[in-house]
Structure 1
Amino acid sequence: MVEVFLNNETKKIEGRYHQSKDTNAPVVLILHHHPQYGGSMDSKIIHTIYESFIDNNFSALTINFRGVGKSTGTFDKGIGELTDAAVAIDWLQEHNSNNVPIWIVGFSFGAWVAMQLTMRRPEIVSFVALSLPATKYDFSFLSPCPVPGLIIQSNNDTISEESDVTELAQRLINSVKNNHMEYHIVDDTNHFLRDKEEEVAQIIDNYIKLRLNSAVTSSKKVKKEIRVKEYA
């Protein structure tokens, strides 16, 4: 992994990047929690997620939002942070093949930003949202959700109530027309999923493998159908 800097207008956005040896590997952008409450790409949960995707042969980028770490600028209540994430997606596309699948991951505040970007960027094929701040932020823009994904929530979250996240998750599950939407509740932890990082990593790893295997199966099915048509 290497330290990178992304140019965002007059801002400089710090990131950490791993390039897969496979030129056709999928890519992922990982976004941290609220900058004013200790959020950064160096948090344990973000690092754990980052390693999970690398272990599954992704090219992975995680960034510090403006005003965090070596990123310049100041907190912008989600507006500027959405721009930071969009610039990161552009950067990933510049450094990878245009047709590779793009995933986005967000933790808490980062999940709110990630879900907004999912609605705006059709090249994103999947999301992972951890500790969705459904109690604090309005998620009505997800109508419907354009792609399937994974939602992970604590059963003891005092910042974003489990009931609010469950209601949102059920709405998204009902809106996505396939069987790849998943919702997992992690017991005996808090909003920050403290001391459950390995359990969370396993849930994410299982979901990644499910989606990648499904994509391979679908690709083989399409090729088989094409061969049948060619020789019909």
Structure 2
Amino acid sequence: MPTHAFPTESTTLLLDGPAGALETAVDLPDPDVAPVPAVAVVCHPLSTEGGSLHNKVVTMAARALRELGLATVRFNFRSVGRSAGAFDNGVGEQDDLAAVVAWVRTQRPEAALWLVGFSFGAYVTLKASAALRPQVLVSIAPPVGREWDFDDVQPPSRWLVVQGNDDEIVDPQAVVDWLDGLDAPHTLVRMPDTGHFFHRKLIDLRGAIQHTVKGWLPAASA
């Protein structure tokens, strides 16, 4: 598969991944937004439960960052949409993420790497952070206390965790207790009256992300 240059306008493409093609959507800030030298790779929720790059939380998180000047890259993990391969419970999916990040860093070497994940995507980005070393990590409803192992995560010092207080999938208190037990700086935003999928709370999610990360932005590009 040919190597794609980083696009100069929003588009979809197929990247070469470890299990075959990875369906990818690259979106650039609107023309009236000053771009900043950073690219956010955004990861979707559980593949076997309908998670994809089109998930509303994923698209809202990406939109929130584009409004601050970042380019965003959403992609489907193996087995989802046009991405090849079989579901691998977060192991192979970390390899998928690494392949997308390698492409971003090759094509945009000057750009800071931000990783964003929702639910299962939060797990994948957290487990991959030690190897990928993002400048910023955003974890939305990380599925702590479920079947995935959150031991030995190494998030960056700029780490935002957003958790709904009425999450019906992830125990909010389990997330709080897990964070309290980590020796890692973080910013936790707890959203009241908010379930796992942020129904009727997507605008609030956008505000929570933007309010926290705007202080972490690199200087705007010339």
**Alpha-carbon distance between aligned partners in 2 of 1:146 and 1:50, rounded to the nearest angstrom:** 19
Structure 1 residue 24 displacement after superposition: 6.1
Is the CA contact 1:102–1:125 (under 8 Å) kept in the aligned structure 2? yes
Deviations 1:9-44 (A, max 9, x none): 341000100246878611110000001111011111
Other structure's SS at 2:137 match: strand
Match of 2:144 in 1: 134
Aligned residue pair count: 206
> With structure 1 as the length reference, what TM-score do the two structures score?
0.83
Aligned counterpart in structure 2 of residue 110 of structure 1, from 115, 118, 121:
121
Aligned counterpart in structure 1 of residue 24 of structure 2, from 4, 15, 28:
15
**Alpha-carbon distance between aligned partners in 1 of 2:162 and 2:63, rounded to the nearest angstrom:** 17
Letter in 1 for 2:60: T
**Alpha-carbon distance between aligned partners in 1 of 2:123 and 2:155, rounded to the nearest angstrom:** 13
Match of 2:63 in 1: 51
Structure 2: which 5+ runs fail to align? 1-9
Q: 1:65 to 1:8 in 2, by over 3 A?
A: same
Is the CA contact 1:82–1:117 (under 8 Å) kept in the aligned structure 2? yes
Structure 1 residue 145 displacement after superposition: 3.7
Letter in 2 for 1:80: G
Match of 1:26 in 2: 38
**Alpha-carbon distance between aligned partners in 1 of 2:158 and 2:96, rounded to the nearest angstrom:** 23
Letter in 2 for 1:169: L
Q: Where in structure 2 are the equivalents of 1:185-224 lying within 5 Å?
A: 185-212=190-217
Alignment partner of 1:89 is 2:101: yes
**Alpha-carbon distance between aligned partners in 2 of 1:175 and 1:75, rounded to the nearest angstrom:** 30
**Alpha-carbon distance between aligned partners in 2 of 1:37 and 1:105, rounded to the nearest angstrom:** 19
Match of 2:89 in 1: 77
Structure with higher RCO (Cα < 8 A, 6+ apart): 2
Deviations 1:200-222 (A, max 9, x none): 0001111221212xx55xxxxxx
Structure 1: which 5+ runs fail to align? 217-232
Match of 2:13 in 1: 4
> With structure 2 as the length reference, what TM-score do the two structures score?
0.86
Deviations 1:56-104 (A, max 9, x none): 11121000111111111121111111111000101111221x2421110
**Alpha-carbon distance between aligned partners in 2 of 1:10 and 1:185, rounded to the nearest angstrom:** 37
Match of 2:5 in 1: none
Q: RMSD between aligned alpha carbons? A: 1.8
Is the CA contact 1:52–1:201 (under 8 Å) kept in the aligned structure 2? yes
Match of 2:132 in 1: 121
Which is helix-richer, 1 or 2? 1
Aligned counterpart in structure 1 of residue 166 of structure 2, from 152, 156, 161:
156
Letter in 2 for 1:105: V
| Structure number with larger C-alpha Rg | 1
